[in-house]
Amino acid sequence: MKATKRNFLILSMGLVLGVMLTLGQGVLAKRDVAEVNLPVEELRTFTEVFAKIKSDYVEPVDDRTLLENAIRGMLTGLDPHSTYLDPEGYKELQVGTTGKFGGLGIEVGMEDGFVKIISPIDDTPAARAGVEAGDLIVRLDDTPVKGLTLSEAVKIMRGKPGSEILLTIVREGAEKPLKISIKRDIIRVKSVKARMLDEDFAYLRITSFQSKTGESLYKQLKKLDKNTTNGLQGIVLDLRNNPGGVLSAAVDVSDAFLQKGLIVYTEGRDKDSRLRFSATPDDIIDGAPIVVLVNGGSASASEIVAGALQDHQRALIMGSKTFGKGSVQTILPMNSNAALKITTARYYTPSGRSIQAEGITPDIRLESVKVSKDERSFKRVKEADLAGHLQSANEKNGKQPSKENDNNDALTLASTDYHLYEALNMLRGLKIMANVPAHNKNID
């Protein structure tokens, strides 16, 4: 019996060493690594545990399942963003950058064993159902989330378009868990949305950073600029609830508004992970003021853009503190069509700030408030309304006295999106202040 167990341990040791060597060859084939030192004592402990499970666990478990679970454990034990992607998970990750995939429309991570919503994606079932950044999912239908891996939870959330799933959510400030029913749909993500806020100022919304986000941004801004009389006088760049995405897209967006200087750099242990990205000449809006809106759902690539524009004093950042994901994940394909998603570097803003677990602090903090019209207000009587008032020069020339602009649009914007309302007011103020020196040049 002892001889059998000893032989089993030797075979298990050989199996584990073989797996480790295969992994080393697959992952490090493209790296300049002279030698890999294997921790023999620790591997011996591993094989002992492996043998105990094979011989004593209540139900038989195949070797593949045990080894894949061990690999998952190695990666998930590092940080919330490193993970093992089986062939199916790797395929789903690749689909996520094309702008079309099935599911609920949320960017998620793990926190304390629960699924944390980093951000709902605009115009998706999750956003329409009222899911918010920071929510913790504790149950998926009747399945508790505790104990599931992130990929297992994502697999449950995805399903046939039109089918429903019930999320049990814990939300900060809520007295009890919320139950939100969501109907799955094909998620088509439009990365960039743009419109004019008025005749001078544009609104640019980036929902996520995809491979063609920079190109789309250029097209949208050029199109809006052609429809203005004097060119764009400023833009609101909305990065709220933007979970991030492709690093190169964040560089492209930042470069659109910067003419020179560093945009972002990364630092890691491997020389291939040490990268620097700098701006090229030409500012697409010729130095017009920019207000960037951010919140706790702005993460990763969003923070790169906000940090670069803030450090170069190219934009005013408004809103609330961002998520604080300042790490870079690299996808390392495996020979088995699986992949490792592993943290390889931290990224830094041009001034050397690390965003990791800190986030971007806005220049002007805005609270989450709702604004409604005061129905008790009434129109005040003014001098021009009084009978027999002294006429102004315009009235004497036959012109009607100037009337106040209709405030309905402003009230609507303030009540539907208070932060955007404040950002637009800030842009108007920046435009006025830019012209003050010329107006006041001869004033003593």
Let me know if 248 is a catalytic residue. no
Structure tokens at 324: 């604080």
Structure tokens at 350: 């041009």
Let me know if 12 is a catalytic residue. no
Task: Please provide residue 344's backbone torsions phi and psi, each rounded to the nearest 5 degrees.
Answer: -115, -15
Which of 119, 135, 302, 325 is catalytic? The answer is: 325
Q: pLDDT at position 426, please?
A: 97
Q: Exposed, middle or buried: residue 181 (CB in 10 Å: 0-12, 13-18, 19+)?
A: exposed
Structure tokens at 267: 């630092």
Which of 82, 208, 300, 320 is catalytic? The answer is: 300
Contacts of 363 (CB under 8 A, 6+ apart): 310, 316, 317, 318
Which H helix or E strand runs over 329? Answer: strand 327-333
Q: Is 94 left (phi over 0), alpha (psi -120 to 50) or beta?
A: alpha
pTM above 0.75, yes or no: yes
Q: How far is CA 306 from CA 103, 211, 223, 418, 424, in A?
A: 29, 19, 24, 20, 18
Q: How far apart are CA 146 and CA 114, in angstroms?
A: 6
| Domains of the chain, earliest start first | 2-29+39-61 (no CATH), 101-188 (2.30.42.10), 192-331+342-365 (3.90.226.10)
Let me know if 255 is a catalytic residue. no
Q: pLDDT at position 437, please?
A: 59
Q: pLDDT at position 394, please?
A: 78
Q: Which residues make beta-bridge pairs with 182?
A: 165
Q: Exposed, middle or buried: residue 209 (CB in 10 Å: 0-12, 13-18, 19+)?
A: buried
Q: How far apart are CA 243 and CA 116, in angstroms?
A: 12
In terms of Cα–Cα distance, which of 325, 365, 352 is closest to 242? 325
Q: pLDDT at position 37, please?
A: 81
Q: pLDDT at position 179, please?
A: 97
Half-sphere exposure of 81 (CA within 13 A, CB side): 19
Q: How far apart are CA 342 and CA 81, in angstroms?
A: 7
Which of 191, 311, 320, 341 is catalytic? The answer is: 311
Q: pLDDT at position 9, please?
A: 42
Q: How far apart are CA 16 and CA 66, in angstroms?
A: 11
Which parts of the chain sit beneath pLDDT 50?
Answer: 1-34, 406, 439, 441, 443-444
Q: pLDDT at position 96, please?
A: 57
How many residues make up the chain in this entry?
444
CB of 306 closer than 8 Å to CB of 253: no
Q: How far apart are CA 352 and CA 370, in angstroms?
A: 36
Q: Which residues make beta-bridge pairs with 109?
A: 116
In terms of Cα–Cα distance, which of 420, 421, 209, 191 is closest to 306? 209
Dihedral angle computed from the Cα positions of residues 165, 166, 170 and 173, in that order, rounded to the nearest 10 degrees: 110
